[in-house]
Amino acid sequence: MRRHAPLLLCLVAALVAACGGTPILDTRTFQLKYIQADQARDIIAPYVYADRPNAKGMMSSSASTITVRETRDNLEKIARVLAQYDIPRPLVRLTFHLIQADGAATTDPAIADVEATLRQLFRFRGYRLIEEGIFSAAEEGEVAQTLSGYSIFANIWRVSGVGDSALVNLNVRLRGQGVDFSTRVAVPTGKTAVLGNVGKDPRGTLILTVKPELLSASP
């Protein structure tokens, strides 16, 4: 019996290490396609236990890869999380309408989808489209265009949700001819939002609207 005691002690020690002792760590490198390495580090940080005694989790990164040393279970979790976030950014089309509001009792078929809303918000007798601007950008992208002598700038800082339930978060600014209007809004895709009474020019009071539409994912 004494002869087998060292062997038994070794087996017990191995079982303790495997079941409740120091965890076994593996190393895996993840290739990043659409997000930056610093974004990936922030996303997976909760799954890397750098303060674990005797088996610290670690990660390092290059421009397009991130390497993680962790338990196999956590590496699998990290792979699933990155698969959810490392995807193409949504591409959004923005349609802006610069509208004239004045005392003339006029209607314009070009803005028929929003005229009822305009009449609820304001008390002008007539509305007509001055100019339309259409441009596209990916999430976190910025665009700029000139509408009838005014410079319009838009930043798509976030797109949440998918399909018809998506919500587009925008920063918008309109400048020129004594007008300097800016706002931050969240607009459902496919819906036209009245951004506000942005000022006056010789043609009358100016109203700005925007309609975001989700086109696809940007490669």
Q: For tokens 């990290």, what's the residue? A: 78
**Does position 2 have pLDDT exceeding 60, yes or no?**
no
* 39-57 pLDDT per residue, tens: 899 999 999 999 998 899 9
* 102-138 pLDDT per residue, tens: 867 778 888 988 988 898 898 888 899 999 999 998 8
**Does position 16 have pLDDT exceeding 50, yes or no?**
no
Report the C-alpha gap between 105 and 125 in whole angstroms.
5
pLDDT at residue 186, as a whole number: 94
Report the C-alpha gap between 161 and 165 in whole angstroms.
6
pLDDT top residue among 92 and 139: 92
pLDDT at residue 99, as a whole number: 93
C-alpha distances out from residue 156 to 12, 62, 70, Å:
59, 27, 36
* 200-215 pLDDT per residue, tens: 877 789 999 999 998 8
pLDDT at residue 47, as a whole number: 95
**Considering only 61-70, 178-187, 209-218, which range has the smallest mean pLDDT?**
209-218
Q: Are 23 and 74 in contact (CB under 8 A)?
A: no
**Does position 20 have pLDDT exceeding 80, yes or no?**
no
